[in-house]
Structure 1
């Protein structure tokens, strides 16, 4: 029974994401860090990376998908698997530390901003 409940929530999440993308006339998303184009699939995992919502529009991140969650305007972003796993070197401009996104679950969506303290401070280095 628990699996059915989780499956139902997963289906709602999938529909929410696909509806937001459809409303923005998008069938791809871009990585918020390296800008790589990520195709969106119909079933989980939806992207080759992870998705997250932010209540704030990050000016330094060029690509977002506006959407509404519980009546609030949110912005849907993605981070590709290469940035999450450290293939691309993401460095904090302020403290010079390397960002580690490897603990994030691939193919899902976080309902909070996984870069909340960092977007103005991070940049992509090859």
Structure 2
């Protein structure tokens, strides 16, 4: 029915295309077909128990052993959202891609420790992140972000809470303790510090980078790490600002809370000496 003298503006504004800011799965159709033909999904024991191939987290002991008690909260660890429209799209996209490749766990890019993947937040005892660089010994699984394929990679919490030092200049500006555990970062977190002149990934020649671009990255625009740059020596065009783990010396150290627990355990189980040098029984009755 046509309305006369209507005050409503019937103009329809075109919706903004959000494809360049959306995280999407990038699953090979052959893999999906192979999974369907296998018909072993519902025969898996873990699927029968949990409804998926991913683990169900029973406790947070693995995280408590690595981080201080003061950091064990919803600010430093990604927890399940109170409402379904929270960050569930990221979780579903990530788990769908990993599940299609039958990835129940992924190795840490630093220490290669196998980290189980959980079906709820926190998804892993560390962080997921996207990188354009393939890591040796790490399975190649991709996600689409900004219309480009990126590798899904993971760093364990023990390596994140270690001291990272640049092999070339000794810079220690990488602070993994500031990252939220159990979630996905859509940029290469290893490449956050831009302390040294970047080198070409093809010929290892220095790359000329404008100071303005480096300043933007240092101000928090970490997506610019994946900005394509052209090497003047060999002509290779790619994101040369991305760095490898071998760029750093990683010194793993226990956090103060863990050391305190260890010292308390030792003091309760080891014998003590009295003022006269005799051993005092330290057993607890």
Flag whether TM exceeds 0.5 (same fold).
Answer: yes
Residue matched to 2:111:
34
**Number of residue pairs matched?**
118
Deviation >6 Å, runs of 4+:
none
The Cα shift of 1:70 comes to 4.9
**Matched residue, 2:150:** 74
The structure 1 residue matched to 2:178, chosen from 103, 106, 114, is 103
Task: Report the TM-score when normalising by structure 1.
Answer: 0.78
Q: Deviations over 1:47-86 (max 9, x none)?
A: 00111112x1234x43142222353211111110001111
Pick one of 115, 122, 125 that aligns with 2:248: 122
- Give the direction of change, closer, same or farther, for the CA distance of 1:50–1:94 in structure 2 (3 Å limit): same
Alignment partners' CA distance in 1, 2:137 and 2:92 = 24
Instruction: Name 1:52's counterpart in structure 2.
Output: 129
User: How far off its partner does 1:27 sit?
Assistant: 0.6
Cross-structure match for 1:65:
141
Higher strand share: 1
Say which structure is richer in helix.
Answer: 2
Q: Which has the higher contact order (CA 8 A, sep 6+)?
A: 1
* Structure 2 runs not aligned, ≥5 long: 1-81, 192-241, 253-285
SS in structure 1 of the partner of residue 189 of structure 2: coil
Partner of 2:167: 93
Please say which structure displays the higher CA radius of gyration: 2
What whole-Å deviation, never above 9, does each CA across 1:19-65 have from its counterpart, x for those lacking one?
121222211011111111100000000100111112x1234x43142
Indicate the RMSD between aligned Cα atoms, in angstroms.
Answer: 2.2
Distance 1:20 1:91 in 2: 33
